[in-house]
Structure 1
Amino acid sequence: MPVIRMEFPFDFDLKELVKAYPDAAWYPKESVWAVPYADTRVSSLLAHFRGNNVWLDYSLVKKAELPQVWPELPPLADRIGAEIQRFRDWLRNRRYAEATVKNYCDSISVFFRFLENKDPEEVTNEDMELFNRDYILARGLSESYQSLFINGVKLYFAILEDRKLEPEIIRRPRRAKKLPHVLSKEEVKAILEALTYPKHRLILLLLYSCGLRRGELINLRVTDIQLERGVLMVRKGKGNKDRLVRFPPMLRGILQSYIKASQPREYLIEGQKGGAYSEKSLAEVFKKALHLSGINKPATPHWLRHSYATHLHEGGTDIRFIQELLGHQSSRTTEIYTHVSTRKIREIRSPIEDMDLEI
């Protein structure tokens, strides 16, 4: 069966966007996401991924439309792999987030493979510039991947090689100022009401009503629920910070019924065999709710958190309280929700409203 392959640099939200596309499937043997080919599939994919860095491979569809085929990078030499393992151990000993450890080590691995396993002591600023030009820019990889590469390589050479590569050789890209994706209250309501299975419905309710990140919900323990105080304790959120989040009293009944029926041992939301629920399963729950609600948007579970913050602001909640509830270190991060909130926009009259027009 002909398929269309979808390739992209690792990005969690982008991966969730791919998973949200109908019929998208992961092929572990080829390590690639793909969808069955159909006559209308290409235009549909382009619309779905507009503005995102996804490479669509049509090689099994039309031979005349073959994109740039990049040569395979050589495998990583054992000696370089051992050095990267030392770096991985150093990061973990300093309690870097596991996602950061993986992203830094993966980017450094690609860097050395691109350099054909060049000895780290011989790597220069020119090698960084070459990788940036002939790998990152040539393949159209994202600004976030470029920044990740710069951060990872700088730290690797500072720690393991005890020398500093000049960061100015590659100008750090300006982070794209993208507005968060927000669902309307009506859309959120439809998603929250789409599923009837108690565990799945509770997952969606908590993501939105408490503004939780996916990892925060998955790591939520039964003992973190403090119903008598009306709060949830989010432990070791982003930046390894704890915070309190208000728990809506209207959800007390469904929470108690769920706990009584499911009897989770440690984590509030547990997998079928116990232990923490997986992010993949959580994404599938959201994908099913999105489909049943009839909302035709490339939404991800994180959109519920964005919507929670925006709806709070539209309801008049002070931005400083929203910052605390979301666990943002800087108010500048939270202020982005003022740009998608319609609270003030609705108060602005368009000049056309003052004209005596016949429409």
Structure 2
Amino acid sequence: MNTIVLKPFFIQGTRYVGLDVRRNPAVGSLLRKMPKVKWSQVHKCWFFPVLTGWYTQLQEFTREIASITPSGFASESALEFFLFPAIKERKKSVSKPARVLVVQGLSEENRQALEEFTRLLRLKAYSESTIRTYRNEFTQLLKVLRNRPVNTLTLDDIKRYMVYAMQEKGISENTAHSRLNAIKFYFEQLLNVDPFVWAIPRPKKAEKLPGIFNQEEISAIINSVKNTKHKTMLMLAYSAGLRVSEVVALRADDVDSKRMIILIRRAKGKKDRIVSLSPVMLVMLREYAREYATTKGGYLFEGNIKGTSYSVRSLQEVLQAAKNRAGVIKPGSVHALRHSFATHLIDKGTDVTMIQKLLGHSDLKTTLRYLHTSNRDLLR
């Protein structure tokens, strides 16, 4: 079998991984098709940027034609350190809360308010992403206040601040809503103030239609993927209407082939839900299981470090590469597969409340957006 030798590679101080294929035209031809892999005419070497998930993609992309050796590095641990510094940091923080950074420029009183604000969010078991968002938005207010205690603000003060943030700082409608939610949490949950924030008018959000792919584009994208793992993950996102975070978080035990269902654990809003497992998807999962060993209780789709999940970013890159190969120029991430799933169900006449349950929407209004992307009524 052919060999790809990995070695450190730098261009103008930027770190890359060099791929020495010993002038093998077959391997070189394959690497030319791999996204973001480039050829250096000066160094006579292929190279790719140090991005999370790319080592795994390289292994899977070349497994049929070449083996990979890190002999260009002092050791495999040196290679891992060179390639995956970000992964190591994330692995350390998987079971720990996000690190709280010290915010400069706050008075001692407002710094204490921020700490109490963060502590209460954790006590109420908000997700880490929500804590980061709320903390960041609340901090923006505290920075403007300087030495004025935040607990002395009045309704008029909040209104003037929001006008300043939108007109002077140019924050978006979505950011304005998030900031008001954070301020509302502080005054109502921490200070037990009556819900005065409701008296503040909220900017109307832009009504953007979700991006979708038509069924021909879906087929072209899926069929362009040769790697079994990648194809299975993308097909699962579409056939079950899963969020990208739900795909990578799946455990091997979550698939119940007897009942033909998939259990989605602790999805958005920390809610479990059940989605249907199609016969076609079951066949693909069985083919995947024959090629990739899974462990009971382990992740269904493992990342490049054993015991960790496949990364969201890597799956997004897989989809983008598949779109390029399929000639699909329409914008859309993995989440567009979920949008497409819902829209195609509506096209077929599926009841919208059933779609709401499959998608895990708590509010029917969220699901009703897909009525505007469906062509069912237009074709009548």
Q: Same fold (TM over 0.5)?
A: yes
Q: CA deviation at 1:74?
A: 6.2
- 1:151 corresponds in structure 2 to 181
Q: CA deviation at 1:116?
A: 2.3
- 1:344 corresponds in structure 2 to 377
- 1:319 corresponds in structure 2 to 352
Does the Cα contact within 8 Å between 2:209 and 2:369 map onto a contact in 1? yes
AA partner of residue 260 (structure 2): G
Q: Secondary structure at the match of 1:312?
A: helix
Q: Secondary structure at the match of 1:346?
A: coil
Name the count of aligned residue pairs: 281
Select the residue among 183, 202, 209 that pairs with 2:232: 202
AA partner of residue 352 (structure 2): I
Q: Secondary structure at the match of 1:277?
A: coil
The answer to whether 1:113 aligns with 2:143 is: yes
Q: CA deviation at 1:117?
A: 5.0
Q: CA deviation at 1:253?
A: 2.7
- What's the CA shift string for 1:51-103, capped at 9, x where partnerless? xxxxxxxxxxxxxxxxxxxxxx9644565344323322322222223222211
Does the Cα contact within 8 Å between 2:211 and 2:331 map onto a contact in 1? no
Q: CA deviation at 1:264?
A: 3.0
TM normalised by structure 2 equals: 0.67
Taking the TM superposition and a 5 Å limit, the aligned residue runs for 1:286-301 are 286-301=319-334
Select the residue among 147, 153, 173 that pairs with 1:123: 153
- 1:270 corresponds in structure 2 to 302
Q: CA deviation at 1:249?
A: 0.8
AA partner of residue 332 (structure 1): K
Q: CA deviation at 1:278?
A: 2.2
The CA RMSD over aligned residues, in Å, is: 2.8
Q: Secondary structure at the match of 1:345?
A: coil
AA partner of residue 289 (structure 1): A
Structure 2 CA distance, aligned partners of 1:168 and 1:159?
A: 14
The answer to whether 1:233 aligns with 2:263 is: yes
- What's the CA shift string for 1:222-251, capped at 9, x where partnerless? 110001111101112222222111111112
Does the Cα contact within 8 Å between 2:109 and 2:149 map onto a contact in 1? no
Does the Cα contact within 8 Å between 1:208 and 1:307 map onto a contact in 2? yes
Note closer, same or farther for the CA distance 1:290–1:86 as it changes in structure 2 (3 Å cut). farther
Structure 1 CA distance, aligned partners of 2:148 and 2:326?
A: 53
**Structure 1 unmatched ranges of 5 or more:** 1-24, 28-72, 348-359
- 1:280 corresponds in structure 2 to 313
Note closer, same or farther for the CA distance 1:244–1:165 as it changes in structure 2 (3 Å cut). closer
Structure 1 CA distance, aligned partners of 2:147 and 2:136?
A: 14
Deviates more, 1:222-231 or 1:285-294: 285-294
Does the Cα contact within 8 Å between 2:238 and 2:340 map onto a contact in 1? yes
- 1:66 corresponds in structure 2 to none
Structure 1 CA distance, aligned partners of 2:134 and 2:174?
A: 12
Q: CA deviation at 1:319?
A: 1.6
Does the Cα contact within 8 Å between 1:76 and 1:112 map onto a contact in 2? yes
AA partner of residue 144 (structure 1): N
- What's the CA shift string for 1:275-322, capped at 9, x where partnerless? 122222222222222222222222111111110000011112222221
TM normalised by structure 1 equals: 0.71
The answer to whether 1:254 aligns with 2:284 is: yes
